[in-house]
Amino acid sequence: EPEVTQTPSHQVTQMGQEVILRCVPISNHLYFYWYRQILGQKVEFLVSFYNNEISEKSEIFDDQFSVERPDGSNFTLKIRSTKLEDSAMYFCASSGVTGVYGYTFGSGTRLTVV
């Protein structure tokens, strides 16, 4: 079964550093998303991406965050200057042409900011 692949599985970074979280969505999917989950809290939407541009973003997704699809396969989330409160699991997801069916989520990257 096709999978969404995320790397790395765990990243530790110092406060103020830039991090890039990487995702390889399912190959024929056109819609891409990032979600995050702070330990013990709900899964929160960050951003959706379609046709090489952001289609929707949440209040969390401020100027410190950016997304990119640099080539035909990767989808990245960059945090420019990490803060302690950015520590969370970050999940990438993708969905196909018809939005009726569910997303496929990756297994996540655990980001720890120290």
Residues that bind other proteins (CB under 8 A): 4, 31, 33, 35, 37, 42-45, 48, 50, 55-56, 58, 89, 91, 93, 95, 97-108, 110
Of 2 and 18, the one with the shorter C-beta distance to other proteins is: 2
Report which DSSP code applies to 40. Answer: T
Task: Name which of 90 and 113 has its Cβ closer to other proteins.
Answer: 90
Q: Which is nearer to other proteins, 14 or 59 (CB)?
A: 59
CB of 81: closest distance to other proteins in angstroms?
25
Residue 85 has phi, psi (to 5 degrees) of -75, 0
- Which CA distances in Å does 3 have to 16, 26, 29, 108? 32, 6, 11, 12
98 and 10 Cβ atoms separated by less than 8 Å: no
Contact (Cβ atoms closer than 8 angstroms) between residue 31 and residue 49: yes
Distances (CA, A) of 37 to 1, 13, 34, 111: 25, 17, 10, 10
What is the closest distance, in whole angstroms, from the C-beta atom of residue 17 to other proteins in the complex?
Answer: 23
Least Å from the CB of residue 16 to other proteins: 26
The residue among 10 and 18 lying less far from other proteins, judged by its C-beta, is: 10
Q: Tell the smallest beta-carbon distance from residue 7 to other proteins (Å).
A: 14
